[in-house]
Amino acid sequence: MSDTTRITVRGEQDYDVLIGRGLVADVVAAIPPAVRRVAVVHPGTRPLDAQRIADAVRAAGAEPLLLPVPDGEDAKNAEVAAFCWAELGRAGFTRSDAVVGVGGGATTDLAGFVAATWLRGVRLVQVPTTLLGMVDAAVGGKTGINTAEGKNLVGSFYPPAAVVCDLESLSTLPAVDLAAGLAEVVKVGFTSDPVILDLVESGPASALDPESDVLGELVTRAVRVKADVVSADLRESQPGGLGREVLNYGHTFAHAVELVERYRWRHGHAVSVGLVYVASLARLAGRLSAQDRARHVDVLHSLGLPTSYPDGRFPELLDAMRIDKKARGDQLRFVVLDGIGRPGLLEGPDPALLTAAYAAVAKESS
């Protein structure tokens, strides 16, 4: 995949997602010449990508401010956001300056929240450097931080000026994180683009190869699905139908796992188990065939992703699911499938079904 692909996300403010290799110049191009200061929010454990962007920003005549933050979900809390605000204040950041988020999904979520809240909003450019960030977190305009009570409970919708997905950054990504990111790719394969499933099934090794054209196509397909969904339902408020909620396939259970595990699980691993849980739930509810449920397990297994969760923890998980953002009052609602590429809603399922689906997920590990 040598050419740069440009996918436009429509909304209150349209923006482009660029996918290609060697795109540092495109990051700088998304920052207007009038910008004098650019805060580069990045994980302190991986400074090289941020330093390259900072050097390019300086060469273009602006002053970069490197803001190292903790890695992963440890960055997504009020204390780290307050650190960023304090640094922006000390540097004299004005409304005409910009924030660039460089890193995984947690980093871009935090950077977006900081940009959305500083002076009620400054220009934001997202540069996801993980597969998960590219296909999920950085696209869609959602920003947020976690609280002790749950994930992403504090946040805002704030579209970036651009999202730049430089596939070269995937070459330095640990293999376990690359595989975890593919859980979100597979998710949209099941809900919206079955060609994704065909590509993975025909060559899991190519899907896991950061240099392969197959992985580039998977990223492009996943981003295009998300861009189409977000363009049609910017703020999860589309009346009738699923709208943006389709992107939550597998996530009600996944977010519960993350909370119960105190975010020690990778998001993609939790999503993988969440996909098997909701496929089991749909199967038990008579909505999904046994063959399609088995396909979930097979595709995820082929990528080395987990498909089970230990038995005996369902009361904790159920409590966590009840405070998930997708619940309505006390009524749980799940995005389910009526077949591959045919998503729908299951609202207020019988508690016995919820328990039986959990038993099916726990059985996977036996």
Token pair, residue 71, equals: 């890695």
Q: How far is Cα 16 from Cα 32, in angstroms, rounded to an integer?
A: 15
Among this protein's residues, is 267 annotated catalytic? yes
Burial (CB count within 10 angstroms: exposed 0-12, middle 13-18, buried 19+), residue 209: middle
Among this protein's residues, is 142 annotated catalytic? yes
Among this protein's residues, is 52 annotated catalytic? no
CA 344 to chain centre: 21
Among this protein's residues, is 328 annotated catalytic? no
Among this protein's residues, is 248 annotated catalytic? yes
Catalytic residue among 120, 262, 264, 328: 120
Catalytic residue among 123, 224, 226, 269: 226
Among this protein's residues, is 224 annotated catalytic? no
On the CB side of 149, CA atoms within 13 Å amount to 6
Catalytic residue among 221, 224, 251, 296: 251
Contact 95, 46 (CB under 8 A): no
Catalytic residue among 244, 269, 293, 296: 244
Contact 167, 21 (CB under 8 A): yes
Among this protein's residues, is 90 annotated catalytic? no
Residue 272 φ/ψ region, left for φ over 0, alpha for ψ in the -120 to 50 degree band, beta for the rest: alpha
Catalytic residue among 267, 269, 293, 296: 267
Backbone angles phi, psi at 152, to 5 degrees: 60, 30
Catalytic residue among 46, 142, 266, 283: 142
Tell me, what DSSP letter sits at residue 167?
A: G
SS3 per residue for 222-288: HHHHHHHHHHHCCCCCCCCCCHHHHHHCCHHHHHHHHHHCCCCCCHHHHHHHHHHHHHHHHHHCCCC
Catalytic residue among 184, 217, 245, 258: 184
Catalytic residue among 236, 261, 316, 364: 236
Catalytic residue among 37, 123, 217, 248: 248
Q: Which residues are catalytically annotated? A: 120, 142, 184, 226, 236, 244, 248, 251, 255, 267
